[in-house]
A and B are shown apart, each in its own frame.
Chain A
Amino acid sequence: MDVLKKVPVREQDAKVRAANFEEVCLGYNKEEAMEEASRCINCKNAQCVKGCPVSINIPGFIEKVKEGDMEAAYQVISASSALPAVCGRVCPQESQCEGKCIRGIKGEPISIGKLERYVADWARENGIRPEGAAEKKGKKVAVIGSGPAGLTCAGDLAKMGYDVTIFEALHEPGGVLVYGIPEFRLPKEAVVKKEIENVKSLGVKIETNVIVGKSVTIDELLNEEGFSAVFIGSGAGLPKFMGIPGENANGVFSANEYLTRSNLMKAFREDSDTPIMRGKKVAVVGGGNVAMDAARTALRLGAEVHIVYRRSEEELPARVEEVHHAKEEGIIFDLLTNPVEILEDENNWVCGMKCIRMQLGEPDASGRRRPVEIPGSEFVIDCDTVIMSLGTSPNPLISSTTDGLETNRHKCIVADEEFGKTSKEGVYAGGDAVTGAATVILAMGAGKAGAKGIDEYLSR
């Protein structure tokens, strides 16, 4: 074996997987995992741990994998992470743990994500669960939202001995893990559901169909229902539209709607009660991970799919691996292209999208080169479906119904990074509700910080 290279991971063939919703990456087997683990040089001052937002003892668990003791490896991981089977799959490791790996200087970094995934999958298949609290603290904590931030916070608090209830607005817990990220990247029954059951096995209760701000308010939870503290992990689920003509035509969807129909409501299945548009030619506007997910979903539903993005390939915010997978599957990238109008036929149905070509100008405040329209370069992309994937912002429902909760101009809740403390006593927050749309693992890091903050507050 070449120690400078990762042990390759098995994947479904691109042609085959483009027509199914099965998981693309098949993961390591035991031999492959142990071989990959043997590449780790077990640094004393491990940089990879610093790159992990929840500070998993990475060399520690890899050492156990090297020895073939997967159960011990799982306990090392689960001391820091509530959702390892999820994170091993969806974290952008290249800019986190693996980005800091010393091995990566001369060759390829250790495949930390794939190893974490292997260990978590092994534990699930062998019925190993995280260890719960030794003794109860007798205090109730409410967690709002059952996405990565809420699940992590709840798991950590339960391990500390708190009586935790999660309130979820949808009928199924998991947040973006169930409605956003597609089956082919993150299997729902086999992975997400099981990982949530692990959190429940720590004693966490989950009440679905509760919209905090409508069904019950934070003040009622604190004053009437006996909760001593609240963690808000309600995410950033409000979709943005461009505000261009034709955007309300039939066949224009937000990526949130399209993905919710497919992932949460299972509309990709022929026998689903919930319908979904199976377009022939789909244009996805945007270049983030959500755009890739929507595009690859549309492809699997039988469409020719174009990603329409106003900057160039270098600036695509999506993970390199996702862009690579999308290309392999046959997604067409129309870069340096921006929509100006959606064309509709006499019955209000999308029949094309007028776009303009862009060029990159001077770098803006964020350091990215600003796209500038090329005058007179308008042209029409022929399509029957448009999916807008322009990002999301926090839903103002909770902040507008809670007295004394400060928000910033982006409607994000203001909370400190170390403990998730908000302007309201006993109320903590973290994840996309605070930062705006970011990653699963950053939300988990914030959930951990919130749990720490709440424990500190309730121990006073």
Chain B
Amino acid sequence: MYQILQARELTANIFEMVVEAKRVAKSCEPGQFVIVRKDADSERIPLTICDYDRQNGTITIVFQIVGAGTLMMSSLKAGDAFHDVVGPLGRPSELVEEDRESLSKKRILFVAGGVGTAPVYPQVKWLHEHGVAADVIVGAKTKDLILMEEEMKAVAGNLYITTDDGSYGRSGMVTQTIQDLVEKEGKEYDVCIAIGPMIMMKFVCRLTKELNIPTVVSLNPIMVDGTGMCGACRVTVGGEVKFACVDGPEFDGHLVNFDEAMKRQQIYKTQEGRAYLKAKEGATHHGGCGNCTD
């Protein structure tokens, strides 16, 4: 069992938990992820490691309620435990392994969408600790959904907040801010790292290709084991089939086939919807939603 030391709701439906996982905390690097299971019969759910404390043997995970599994996880409190936490999985972010000299000269832009802010944070923090002040764009639908603003401000070079509805910070999608920074505000970047919903990463990549900024994305396909034994998470990158759990999750965004990846995320959509409604409404749900007639 993996004890939960802290649990809090960051914003509506987005939760942060600090979990004791000694082996993971000892060996993880920014960019890697874990797979968690709430109970002995729960599904395996992949989540990025958002922070870690090697001394105390803890990692921080952040998740958004998007279905039955995460809904049930959201009920966990400090003192409860996860049945399983396995990791670290995937490859560390390339920045971590780069030559420090050339890294210190790099002009880096992070683009975080929604709950993707959480996995961006450890990378920005790591860079800050190594003397690199990266710019960060954080985007969300509306003001209430902005995450970790204070934490991010403390470690970022410049922090740009943008909301789709203009309720806070700049107005519009993250792509608008990227375009403004580069075309109107004279910013130059050597690399962009975008983490968020697949559709956001797709449009960021489309823009950065035009702007000629190499871009790294962190993909979030369906996973089962997360160790390379099943290929559920396969994606096409530069025409080649890759397993996101072992070859990624970070890839050259300009080479990713996003349309295929987004369609593959939908494989279990109906079953997920039914499971979510059942978890949420329990016995009161008898197919009245019209989505699950049988």
Partners in one complex: yes
- What does the 1/0 interface line of B31-43 toward A look like (CB < 8 Å)? 0000001000111
Question: B86 to A275, Cβ gap below 8 A?
Answer: no
Question: B230 to A395, Cβ gap below 8 A?
Answer: no
Q: How far apart are the CA atoms of A215 and B24 in the complex, in Å? A: 6
Q: How far apart are the CA atoms of A257 and B234 in the complex, in Å? A: 11
In this assembly, does A389 line the interface, its C-beta being within 8 Å of a C-beta of chain B?
no
Contact partner of A171 (CB less than 8 A), chosen from B69, B86, B267, is B86
Contact partner of A254 (CB less than 8 A), chosen from B37, B42, B230, is B230
Main secondary structure of the interface of A (DSSP, over half): loop
Q: How far apart are the CA atoms of A52 and B270 in the complex, in Å? A: 49
Contact partner of A209 (CB less than 8 A), chosen from B84, B224, B266, is B84
Nearest residue, chain B, Cβ from A251: B267
B224: chain A residues at CB < 8 Å are 257, 260-261, 265, 274
In this assembly, does A185 line the interface, its C-beta being within 8 Å of a C-beta of chain B?
no
Interface-facing stretch out of A112-120, A237-245, A291-299: A237-245
Closest CB in chain B relative to A235 CB, distance in Å: 9
Q: How far apart are the CA atoms of A397 and B89 in the complex, in Å? A: 11
B88: chain A residues at CB < 8 Å are 214-215
In this assembly, does B136 line the interface, its C-beta being within 8 Å of a C-beta of chain A?
no
Closest CB in chain B relative to A347 CB, distance in Å: 7
Question: B41 to A273, Cβ gap below 8 A?
Answer: yes
In this assembly, does B187 line the interface, its C-beta being within 8 Å of a C-beta of chain A?
no
Question: B263 to A347, Cβ gap below 8 A?
Answer: yes
Q: How far apart are the CA atoms of A209 and B36 in the complex, in Å? A: 10
In this assembly, does A169 line the interface, its C-beta being within 8 Å of a C-beta of chain B?
yes
Question: B43 to A241, Cβ gap below 8 A?
Answer: no
Question: A239 to B229, Cβ gap below 8 A?
Answer: yes
Beyond A248-B260, A348-B264, is A260–B241 a contact (Cβ under 8 Å)? no
Interface-central residue, A170, A210, A243, A273, by most chain B CB under 10 Å:
A273
A170: chain B residues at CB < 8 Å are 86, 225, 227
Interface residues of B in 28-64 (CB under 8 A from A): 37, 41-44
Question: B271 to A209, Cβ gap below 8 A?
Answer: no
In this assembly, does B145 line the interface, its C-beta being within 8 Å of a C-beta of chain A?
no
- What does the 1/0 interface line of B87-120 toward A look like (CB < 8 Å)? 1110000000000000000000000000000000
In this assembly, does B236 line the interface, its C-beta being within 8 Å of a C-beta of chain A?
yes
Interface residues of A in 346-386 (CB under 8 A from B): 347-348
A215: chain B residues at CB < 8 Å are 23-24, 27, 86-88
Question: B231 to A169, Cβ gap below 8 A?
Answer: no
Question: B44 to A274, Cβ gap below 8 A?
Answer: yes
In this assembly, does B214 line the interface, its C-beta being within 8 Å of a C-beta of chain A?
no
- What does the 1/0 interface line of A167-180 toward B look like (CB < 8 Å)? 00111000000000
B37: chain A residues at CB < 8 Å are 171
In this assembly, does A108 line the interface, its C-beta being within 8 Å of a C-beta of chain B?
no
In this assembly, does B83 line the interface, its C-beta being within 8 Å of a C-beta of chain A?
yes
In this assembly, does B275 line the interface, its C-beta being within 8 Å of a C-beta of chain A?
yes
Question: A209 to B89, Cβ gap below 8 A?
Answer: no
Q: How far apart are the CA atoms of A96 and B275 in the complex, in Å? A: 46
Question: A257 to B230, Cβ gap below 8 A?
Answer: yes
A265: chain B residues at CB < 8 Å are 43-44, 224
Beyond A256-B229, A275-B271, A397-B246, is A248–B236 a contact (Cβ under 8 Å)? yes
Interface residues of A in 227-268 (CB under 8 A from B): 237-239, 241, 243, 247-248, 250-251, 253-254, 256-257, 260-261, 265-266
Nearest residue, chain B, Cβ from A395: B228
Question: A241 to B231, Cβ gap below 8 A?
Answer: yes
Beyond A247-B241, A254-B231, A274-B44, is A348–B23 a contact (Cβ under 8 Å)? no
B266: chain A residues at CB < 8 Å are 250
Nearest residue, chain B, Cβ from A217: B27
A12: chain B residues at CB < 8 Å are none
Beyond A216-B23, A248-B236, A348-B260, is A275–B275 a contact (Cβ under 8 Å)? yes
Question: A239 to B23, Cβ gap below 8 A?
Answer: no
Contact partner of B68 (CB less than 8 A), chosen from A248, A273, A392, is A273
Nearest residue, chain B, Cβ from A255: B230
Nearest residue, chain B, Cβ from A258: B230
Q: How far apart are the CA atoms of A241 and B235 in the complex, in Å? A: 13
In this assembly, does B205 line the interface, its C-beta being within 8 Å of a C-beta of chain A?
no
A272: chain B residues at CB < 8 Å are 41
Beyond A238-B228, A248-B241, A254-B230, is A209–B86 a contact (Cβ under 8 Å)? yes
Contact partner of B27 (CB less than 8 A), chosen from A214, A239, A254, is A214
Question: A169 to B227, Cβ gap below 8 A?
Answer: yes
B228: chain A residues at CB < 8 Å are 237-238, 395, 397
Nearest residue, chain A, Cβ from B40: A171
Nearest residue, chain A, Cβ from B265: A250
Question: A274 to B43, Cβ gap below 8 A?
Answer: yes
Q: How far apart are the CA atoms of A209 and B1 in the complex, in Å? A: 10
Nearest residue, chain A, Cβ from B263: A348
A–B Cβ pairs within 8 angstroms, 14 of them: A170-B86, A211-B86, A214-B27, A215-B23, A238-B229, A239-B231, A241-B241, A254-B230, A254-B232, A260-B229, A261-B224, A265-B43, A275-B271, A395-B229
Pairs of residues from A and B, 3 with the lowest C-beta to C-beta distance, nearest first: A257-B230, A237-B229, A348-B263
For the complex with contacts A209-B86, A214-B89, A248-B234, 16 further pairs of A-B residues with Cβ separation under 8 Å are A170-B225, A171-B37, A171-B44, A210-B86, A211-B86, A211-B89, A215-B24, A215-B27, A247-B241, A254-B230, A257-B231, A257-B232, A260-B230, A265-B43, A277-B267, A395-B246
A interface, CB within 8 angstroms of B: 169-171, 208-211, 214-216, 237-239, 241, 243, 247-248, 250-251, 253-254, 256-257, 260-261, 265-266, 272-275, 277, 347-348, 392, 395, 397
